Amino acid sequence: MSITKQNKINYPGGTKVKVSKLPTNYSNRGMALEDDINLTNNYYIDNDIAYIYKKPTPIKITKVDYPSRQKAVIKEAFFTTPSTTDYNGIYKGKYIDFEAKETNSKSSFSLANIHKHQIKHLENIYRHGGISFLIIRFNKLNKTYLLKAEDLISFLENEKRKSIPLDFFEKYGIIIEEKYNPRLDYLKIIDFLYGGSYGK
């Protein structure tokens, strides 16, 4: 992957280093989709199209060392459950909010991959006039779908199943084509879904 602006960090000692990403193995979250979305968001930012960012990973800090005033080092911390979704921002004056997940299943997306309060969050955003959705990649099918929060909620209201079958995505989702740049042009789908009504 390319090195993104957000990944340039200043170590407390003052040495500027570039890091490509966080260690990948502490989470089940796939990094490939995340990389594609981050690259896409950088494209949107660089071209002044939209300002959508990934939120930092929420952690609970329990121990910090201060070798000097400018050099705080976190010595113990734990990953915590996120209150909201990973991505939010603004596009054409509208509030955009989504969660992105990958699955290795070929037939369905397990709802165990999304916290209940994240689904509630997507619903809240939708009710308040924002645009909220899921981006779900079926790794083994090489397909990435955008599914509107409205359709997710409709599924949950009408089904008792603990996973969303692929055919639901085929029927209600929209495939996001992979391209060179931007990698995953999901805002094109947003334009399509919401027509000109959300344009300026």
Site for a copy of itself in 69-98 (CB under 8 A): 72-81, 83-84, 88-95, 97
Of 37, 100, 119, 125, the one binding a copy of itself by CB under 8 A: 125
With binding defined as CB under 8 A, does residue 3 bind a copy of itself?
no
According to DSSP, residue 197 is labeled: G
Q: Do residues 34 and 27 lie in contact, with contact meaning Cβ atoms separated by under 8 Å?
A: no
142: left (phi over 0), alpha (psi -120 to 50) or beta: left
Run of H or E residues at 152: helix 149-158
Select from 120-128, 151-159, 176-184, 188-196 the region that touches a copy of itself (CB under 8 A): 120-128
- Binder among 2, 18, 68, 129 for a copy of itself (CB under 8 A): 129
Name which of 171 and 200 has its Cβ closer to a copy of itself. 200
149 lines the binding site for a copy of itself (CB under 8 A): no
**Among 87, 103, 104, which residue's Cα sits nearest to residue 95?**
87
Stretch that binds a copy of itself, among 57-65, 107-115, 143-151, 175-183 (CB under 8 A): 57-65
Pull the structure tokens for residue 165.
């079958």
